[in-house]
Amino acid sequence: MLGVNDVADLVRSVGFRCRECGACCRRVAEDSNLVLVSPAEVRAIMAATDMAWDEVAEPYPDFIDDGSGGEYTLAWCIRRTADACIFLRDGRCSVYAHRPWICRTYPFMLVDDDLQVSECPGLGTPLLPGDAHDAAADLCRRQAAEAAEEAALDAVYRNAAVPPGKRVVIDSEGMKVLDG
Ligand code: SF4
């Protein structure tokens, strides 16, 4: 696994500065603004906003048939309107201090030792070493958080039994049966 300094070098070689255009929060193509969130991230936003779980998050849209009449999906996403994240207000993130890792580290993502880069108008702008280090530290923290989340989800998934005819979300906290 790469260290923070290695990641900082990679980030600097790409270059980036957020232009605050909000494009990553808007739906510019099918599911372009799908932001996966962990249960802990949902709860942090709930605590900050006094919103209910279902107001903050929606199930990841791809459901899997479990073979006995039930369906499950394995993630939550930030709830969206027809064209944007519900927390985008007047072009700004209204939960900025509590935004999920995906938003915090966009347009970068670490996959093993590979820095993956998503489309963004801010790419290519030179970064100061300190800013690159901060971005790299966040990317490493995100990678560790996602690994812990994946391990916890795997433990739940191995013991999950979807009730017949129900749609559920299986996450690291357990199984949540959806209404309707
Ligand atoms: S949570 Fe904030 S940063 Fe993330 S997609 Fe929504 S508005 Fe954008």
Pocket test for ligand 1, best of 42, 99, 138 (most atoms within 8 A of CB): 99
Q: How confident is the model at residue 32 (pLDDT cuts 50, 70, 90)?
A: confident
Q: How confident is the model at residue 138 (pLDDT cuts 50, 70, 90)?
A: very high
Q: What percent of the chain is predicted at pLDDT more than 90? A: 91
User: Does the pLDDT at position 87 exceed 90?
Assistant: yes
Per-domain boundaries in the chain: 4-177
Q: How confident is the model at residue 31 (pLDDT cuts 50, 70, 90)?
A: confident
Pocket test for ligand 1, best of 20, 35, 98 (most atoms within 8 A of CB): 35
**Residue 95 beta carbon below 6 angstroms from any ligand 1 atom:** yes
User: Does the pLDDT at position 180 exceed 80?
Assistant: no
Pick the residue with more confidence: 149 or 69? 149
Residues in the chain: 180
Mean pLDDT of 118-144: 96
- The mean of the pLDDT values for the chain is 95
Strand partners, 110: 115
Q: How far is the CA of 75 from the centre of ligand 1 (A)?
A: 17
- Are 139 and 113 within 8 A, CB to CB? no
SS3 readout for the chain: CCCHHHHHHHHHHHCECCCCCCHHHECCCCCCCCCEECHHHHHHHHHHHCCCHHHHEEECCCCEECCCCCEEECCEEECECCCEECCEECCEECCHHHCCHHHHHCCEEEECCEEEECCCCCECCCCCHHHHHHHHHHHHHHHHHHHHHHHHHHHHHHCCCCCCCCEEEEECCEEEECCC
